[in-house]
A and B are shown apart, each in its own frame.
Chain A
Amino acid sequence: MDWGALHTLIGGVNKHSTSIGKVWVTVIFIFRVMILVVAAHEVWGDEQEDFVCNTLQPGCKNVCYDHFFPVSHIRLWALQLIFVSTPALLVAMHVAYYRHETTRKFRRGDKRSEFKDIEDIKKQKVRIEGSLWWTYTSSIFFRIIFEAAFMYVFYFLYNGYHLPWVLKCGIDPCPNLVDCFISRPTEKTVFTIFMISASVICMLLNVAELCYLLLKVCFRRSKRAQTQRNHPNHALKESKQNEMNELISDSGQNAITGFPS
């Protein structure tokens, strides 16, 4: 699994994230991806070889292992990390689209006053406003949904987060109720609890980021409303100018020409 490619992708989105978003990326890569690859893979490496059942009946061990571990923990965690990182691609695509539009306008001669050259456009940090705000907020919302869904799937598949030493299995072709022993159950339980805790921390960070973005918008709107009350003409002009700027930058439609600033 090439986690480096994912790291490059998410690292690119990191530049345009909030501070909480940056902390989230660090937690994902240090506490989850790194632990998964460096440590968890070895713990689960021999999970089927060292799964032992108290019977000589051929095939009993295989069916019992398959019954108790339909999807291995490692694969579920890898899937969870991929799903949780995918919404960030939406933000990356939106930023790329915005840059593409800005470059196009620059070449046409529209934004020469704002940027010196195309490199400047590429280096500029895109602010989370307008439609990018909606994209960013939806990506966080989807992240939260995916995290919660995977935590529930884990709980449902393995009847909680604790792995017992011994499992009783009576599925055909096992002749009777046989004892089956898992390899390294305590170590696996420790890792499961660690990874679940890291998921919970990531979920809390996402919720905090969502609240922060919503508060920022409310604060900006109330500030605008206040400015409008104090300086109605100026506020009206400012808000119209902002709307115009948003229209130009977000939709790429024809700018409203001849509007007094």
Chain B
Amino acid sequence: MTNMSWSFLTRLLEEIHNHSTFVGKVWLTVLVVFRIVLTAVGGEAIYSDEQAKFTCNTRQPGCDNVCYDAFAPLSHVRFWVFQIVVISTPSVMYLGYAVHRLAREEEEEETGAAEGAGEEAEEAGAEEACLTKGAGADCKATGTRGTAGQHDGRRRIQREGLMRVYVAQLVARAAFEVAFLVGQYLLYGFEVRPFFPCSRQPCPHVVDCFVSRPTEKTVFLLVMYPRAGSEKGSASSRDGKTTVWI
């Protein structure tokens, strides 16, 4: 059921694959394969009993509940779900915009073909663009547009005049990644401690509360987060080069 629901997003991300540069595709694969699978599989298995097994050293009714609420105002797994959804949002918006542009240009082409002159002018323009860029084989491949509505590769994106929007969505994505990294550090840190002292009402005094599977959760956090840092670094450094000569 959960995997089926992730498919709503993974289907869109696969489509975004056809509208990204090479580095964008690598980033997407890492997001899809590692982050979503880790969250869905590991998150479910490790965090399923996080409240049931959260025990406080008191028999006061309600103390367990309020102390768990203080320990985890938002569970790690839900935080990661929001992270995945928010970080995918700029890419999904870019996909919508790119598909809309493609469809509109195809419609204009069709009306142009009916008139007769437009198509020739477009082909001539495309050839000229290829010549000025000086790319040989690349140009042939990108010359034919609309193979299954694909819009991928740096040159093709640039030719369609979408580079600015593509870079804007990259910047937005990087900003969200940094924001969530900072949020994770501030809210939870990168370690789960086994004890949590709590003195919220109705607990009678400062009680010790014990977290379920702290070491396993710490290891999982360390697996999730170094990769988030490396993804962001590689995506921005490679794609940074493409923005230099706009």
Interface size on B (CB < 8 Å)?
38
Residue of B nearest to A189 (CB): B73
Smallest beta-carbon distance A157→chain B, Å = 22
Q: Which residues of A10-54 are within 8 A (CB) of B?
A: 19, 22-23, 26, 29-31, 33-35, 37-39, 42-43, 46, 50, 52-54
- Are A34 and B61 within 8 A (Cβ)? no
- Are B5 and A186 within 8 A (Cβ)? no
Does residue A93 face the partner (Cβ distance < 8 Å to B)? no
In the assembled complex, which residues on chain A have CB atoms less than 8 Å from the CB atom of B177?
none
CA distance A166 to B69 in the complex (A): 12
CA distance A237 to B72 in the complex (A): 71
In the assembled complex, which residues on chain B have CB atoms less than 8 Å from the CB atom of A37?
1-2, 5
Interface of A is mostly: helix
Enumerate the 3 nearest inter-chain pairs by beta-carbon distance, A residue then B residue, closest first.
Answer: A181-B62, A37-B5, A186-B73
Does residue B96 face the partner (Cβ distance < 8 Å to A)? yes
Interface of B is mostly: helix
- Are A34 and B62 within 8 A (Cβ)? no
Residues of B whose CB lies within 8 Å of any CB of A are 1-2, 4-9, 12, 40, 44, 48, 51-52, 61-62, 64-66, 68-69, 72-75, 77-78, 81-82, 85, 88-89, 92, 96, 100, 200-202
In the assembled complex, which residues on chain B have CB atoms less than 8 Å from the CB atom of A194?
82
In the assembled complex, which residues on chain A have CB atoms less than 8 Å from the CB atom of B1?
37
- Are B61 and A38 within 8 A (Cβ)? no
CA distance A22 to B99 in the complex (A): 11
| Complex partner residue of A184 from B4, B7, B69, B96, CB under 8 angstroms | B69
In the assembled complex, which residues on chain A have CB atoms less than 8 Å from the CB atom of B202?
54, 166, 179, 181
CA distance A179 to B203 in the complex (A): 13
- Are A50 and B65 within 8 A (Cβ)? yes
| Complex partner residue of B51 from A34, A53, A184, A185, CB under 8 angstroms | A184
With A19-B100, A43-B75, A181-B66 as contacts: A29 and B81 at CB distance below 8 Å: no
| Complex partner residue of A38 from B2, B92, B201, CB under 8 angstroms | B2
In the assembled complex, which residues on chain A have CB atoms less than 8 Å from the CB atom of B96?
19, 22-23, 26
Does residue A165 face the partner (Cβ distance < 8 Å to B)? yes
Beyond the given pairs A30-B89, A181-B202, 19 more chain A to chain B contacts, judged by CB atoms under 8 angstroms and listed by A's residue number, are: A3-B5, A30-B88, A38-B2, A39-B77, A42-B44, A42-B77, A43-B78, A46-B52, A52-B61, A54-B61, A54-B62, A166-B62, A179-B202, A186-B74, A187-B69, A187-B75, A190-B73, A191-B78, A194-B82
